[in-house]
C-alpha cells in the first residue's frame, strides 16, 4: 500500500504544479488557484503514512516529492526551450501554462519543504503522546498548522512586491479558510484508509 500512497502523493504534487496557473472564484468571496483543490490531499497522505508506517517513511515520501518536483521543473524548462516545429502554433500558450515565474517556483518549493516536514513532525509527536487514540486530533492539528505555514510562505514569497500587503493578507486568509474546511471534511477519509491498511496488514501477517 505504501507504493500506492507514494505514487498518488507525487502525482498530486506534479498535477497541482501544472494546474496552478488556473484561477477560480467562489462567488465574490475568494479567488483561488486551481492547485489548491489538489494539493490539500497531499497532507492527509503523509499523515496516513506516519500513522501506519512511521515518521521515517513519511520523510522519505516528502523528499521523493521534492526531488520529483525539481526534476519536473528541469524537464519542463527543457521542453519549453526546444525549438518549436514550424507548424506548431501554440508555443506562447505552452510557455504560459507550463512556465510559471521563477518567484512562484521558488515559493512553491520552499513552502512545500517546510510545511510538509512540519506536518510530519507535529503528527508524529502527537502520535507518540496518544498512541493510536485521537487520530482526528493529530490529523487536524498537524495539517491545519502546516497548511497555515504553507499558505503564508507561498503567497508571501510568490507575490511579495506585486500587490499591496493588505491584498496579500486577504489572499492568505481566504486560501487558508478553504484549506481549513477541507481538512475537516477529509478527516473521515483518513480514518477509512488507515483502517483499511491496518486490516490488510493483519491479514498479511496472519499464518
Give me the CATH code for the 2-205 domain, please: 1.10.1760
184: pLDDT confidence band, cut at 50, 70 and 90?
Answer: very high
pLDDT of residue 36: 86
- Digit-coded pLDDT (tens) for 44-62: 999 999 999 999 999 999 9
**pLDDT, mean over the chain:** 88
- pTM for this prediction: 0.87
Nearest to 11 by CA among 41, 32, 34, 36: 41
- Residue 82 near residue 174 (C-beta atoms within 8 A): no
Position 102 pLDDT exceeds 70: no
Buried b (16+ CB within 10 A) or exposed e, 43-55: bbbbbbbbbbbeb
The number of beta carbons lying within 10 Å of the beta carbon of residue 156 is 16
Grid cell in block for residue 182: 477541507
CA atoms of 58 and 118, how far apart (whole Å): 11
Amino acid at each position: 500500500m505504501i507504493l500506492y500512497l507514494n505514487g498518488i502523493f507525487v502525482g498530486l504534487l506534479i498535477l497541482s504544479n501544472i494546474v496552478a496557473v488556473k484561477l477560480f472564484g467562489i462567488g465574490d468571496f475568494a479567488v483561488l488557484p486551481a492547485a489548491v483543490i489538489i494539493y490539500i490531499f497531499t497532507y492527509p497522505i503523509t499523515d496516513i503514512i506516519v500513522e501506519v508506517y512511521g515518521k521515517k517513511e513519511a520523510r522519505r515520501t516528502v523528499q521523493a516529492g521534492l526531488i520529483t518536483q525539481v526534476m519536473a521543473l528541469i524537464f519542463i524548462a527543457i521542453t519549453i526551450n526546444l525549438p518549436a516545429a514550424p507548424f506548431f502554433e501554440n508555443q506562447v500558450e505552452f510557455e504560459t501554462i507550463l512556465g510559471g515565474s521563477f518567484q512562484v517556483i521558488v515559493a512553491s518549493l520552499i513552502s512545500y519543504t517546510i510545511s510538509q516536514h512540519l506536518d510530519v513532525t507535529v503528527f508524529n509527536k502527537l502520535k507518540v503522546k496518544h498512541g493510536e487514540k485521537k487520530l482526528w486530533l493529530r490529523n487536524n492539528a498537524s495539517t491545519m498548522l502546516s497548511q497555515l505555514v504553507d499558505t503564508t510562505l507561498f503567497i508571501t514569497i510568490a507575490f511579495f512586491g506585486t500587490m499591496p500587503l493588505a491584498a496579500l493578507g486577504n489572499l492568505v486568509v481566504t486560501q487558508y479558510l478553504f484549506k481549513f474546511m477541507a481538512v475537516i471534511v477529509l478527516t473521515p477519509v483518513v480514518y477509512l484508509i488507515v483502517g483499511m491498511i491496518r486490516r490488510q496488514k493483519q491479514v498479511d501477517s496472519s499464518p
